[in-house]
Amino acid sequence: MVSSEGLGASPPPAMATTATAAKQFGVTKPISVLGPTEVDVQRSMELEKFLVDAGLYESEEEALKRQMVLDRIGQIVKDWVKQLTRLRGYSDQMVEDANAVIFTFGSYRLGVHGPGADIDTLCVGPSYVNREEDFFFILHDILAQMEEVTELQPVPNAHVPVMKFKFDGISIDLLYASISLLVVPDDFDISQVSVLYDVDEPTVRSLNGCRVADQILKLVPNAENFRTTLRCLKLWAKRRGVYSNVTGFLGGVNWALLVARVCQLYPNAVPSMLVSRFFRVYTQWHWPNPVMLCPIEEDELGFSVWDPRKNPRDRTHHMPIITPAYPCMNSSYNVSTSTLRVMMEQFQFGNKICEEIELNKAQWNALFEPYMFFESYKNYLQVDVIADDADDLRSWKGWVESRLRQLTLMIERDTYGKLQCHPYPHEYVDTSKQCAHTAFFMGLQRKQGEKVQEGQQFDIRGTVDEFRHSVNMYMFWKPGMEIYVSHVRRRQIPSYVFPDGYKRARSRISTQHQGEKASSEDADVCKGESAERDLKKKKSPVGENVNQSGLKKRRSLSPYTCGSVSPEIVTDKPRNLSQENSILGLVGKGETSELNTTSQVGKSCDFQSINFSANTGSINQELKVAEVDERSKLENAEGGCASNFSAVRVLASEVGSCEGMQLDSTFGSSEGNNGSAEVSIDGSTNLGSSRSDSCEADSNSPLEVGCPEFAGGLREELEPNAVVGLALQPRGGMDPEVQKPVISSMAG
């Protein structure tokens, strides 16, 4: 049974480092083998107390219940395999020996799960029990008839086929792997490469979840320090909105690999030190240099491993984080240019807060302040997903969410990287709607430093249309499953996304590194607004004249509410535009540039000369000197706690797993991104007639919505405002007159 770790796992200050230093962890020597000071140990205790108070550790009762559920599922799959063995005419002895084994992986296997977390499980069965029929039909029907099982959802076509359900209230993700054995022993060793013999790639991906988790725990110097640090970083990533593999950020295994690499570089550090070093290392990491815990190994089984020298697709990966078990793969292939930019900004934020913590200028809670997404941009895309009932919505929104990453890639592609996207990995529900509803949001801004011309626009109507068509390919689509995509400005954000329906006043100086964006936003002028509104906006920033007696409650706004300025809809495509002018466009002047955190991405490299196990001894020696210099400054500082972070200049090539490895991060390339969309720019500064034309077009276009209550409310708001009315039409096709969004001024 996997139990929650106890506190107080940090080693004493006088811990000997010779034993750990004798063994090298990872592909390079450590940066520093220094152990913690008394101050570091005290900070680690404070950090662990913060994690406990945040509710990250489950109780003994919860841990016991999880183990009981796993034992129950284990017995169910054993009976299932015995039943199939008997039905297929095997001998009585074979039926008696028939077996299936349940393994866990993910956060539960790593020991970092918390209350309410799901359990990633893998069922390993014999060669004659298959996934397509036996698992997804027969076992599915067995589970469906059990009272303890609820919310049963098979996903057979996923990259890793999975069956999701709740068993006695515990969320379970169950995979299946059929191996080349007639009988699976109870003590089956899943870490052996031989388990991959004569299996297909989905089975390899299913087996590797457990194999990767085991390898991670073997490759870190101190498992308890690794677990505490990983708990901390996972909480931080969720609070800062960068925890989601499906959206294009990083998931649990990605964060585990990043933390494990830092543990290898600082083998004797305690959690407080490791958290600080984590941000220090990855703010300066030269992506797309790969993060690797061990050398990439080839094997005679012939499965493809991550190698940009041989595989052109691997060269398009922006943030390679390589799994340590054969066949080694990039676990973060979903990361795009836009999501990498967002994560680098958040790493900068974390690094700054950790500097302040080491200077005794901040406490740990400052590191975990929630990211104010709806105060960070001036323009957003809102994606509303509706269905007839909760069960339909669960599967429908899961499909839509899995395609949002493609929308980000399409926008990057069709605007040549000039329009940057920030998909937010949270869903919001308008409880005032009677139908099943959820909404996703995506922040939009033009690329910092880009020069724009008066009246230029981003026309992403074709991009959104292509996205809707791809979503409409859902094989389990039902009537009532609909999607709407709309462009909303900050002041149009519906109130249900804010706690208690209140919009927080925007401070002039943000503690979350968002003030730089605000200054750039206020310098721009939206051409769709009147001169008086422009003047008022410049003189009265949002949040400046808030009633001090209390926050004003905002009306619950639909994305189509007509009470605020809507983006202009271009109904006629302009002609005779040069390629240069058709690339981009935002209205506005007087930009202020912010830190370009992705300037290091996309450097070229000779892939034939990559050394995957480069010896960075001389470089690490320089970093050791820097660490000693930092430690001496810490000791001489007031109270022994001050830190001079300028003492360490960790270049990415110095810390990176592969010295000198620079991968070509070709913009816009991604798996499945083969479509095209036309980019259209309206250079006119007089958009009045455009609005009226688009309103008329939208009011005449069909708006088939499965939920009558939702449809009635939206139709009334849509017609006068004409922001966007993008309903998925029935399977017969789309109405060509349905309008698509045009982003007319992307100041934010």
Residues designated as active site: 107, 118, 120, 173, 234, 243
Q: Which secondary-structure segment (H or E) carries 442?
A: strand 436-446
Take residue 606 and report the two structure tokens written for it.
């000779």
Q: What is the dihedral of CA 92, 97, 98, 103, to 10 degrees?
A: 170
Take residue 346 and report the two structure tokens written for it.
């958040």
The label of the residue with tokens 């535009």 reads: 577
Q: List phi, psi (to 5°) of 49.
A: -65, -40
Single-letter code of the amino acid located at 667? F
Contacts 24+ apart (CB under 8 A), 469-475: 469/734, 470/403, 470/406, 470/675, 471/399, 471/400, 471/403, 471/728, 472/728, 472/729, 472/731, 474/396, 474/399, 475/157
C-beta of residue 168 within 8 angstroms of C-beta of residue 138: no
* Distance (Å, whole) CA 385 – CA 393: 8
CA distances from 659 to 367, 420, 592, 602, 610 (A): 31, 30, 35, 16, 8
Q: Is 719 helix (H, G, I), strand (E, B) or coil?
A: helix
* Cis peptide preceding 288, ω within 30 of 0: yes
Question: Can you state the angle between helices 38-53 and 271-282, rounded to 10 degrees?
Answer: 90
Residues 6+ apart with CB under 8 A from 482: 385, 386, 387, 704, 705, 706, 727, 728
C-beta of residue 324 within 8 angstroms of C-beta of residue 216: yes
Q: Is 421 helix (H, G, I), strand (E, B) or coil?
A: strand
Closest C-alpha among 163, 208, 217, 172 to residue 190: 208
Cα of first residue to Cα of last residue in the chain, in angstroms, is 49
Single-letter code of the amino acid located at 201? E
CA distances from 542 to 157, 508, 509, 545 (A): 46, 9, 13, 8
Take residue 712 and report the two structure tokens written for it.
């009635």
DSSP secondary structure letters along 135-152: IIIIIHHHHHT-TTEEEE
Q: Is 291 helix (H, G, I), strand (E, B) or coil?
A: strand
Q: Is 55 helix (H, G, I), strand (E, B) or coil?
A: coil
Q: List phi, psi (to 5°) of 517.
A: -65, -40
Q: List phi, psi (to 5°) of 513.
A: 65, 35
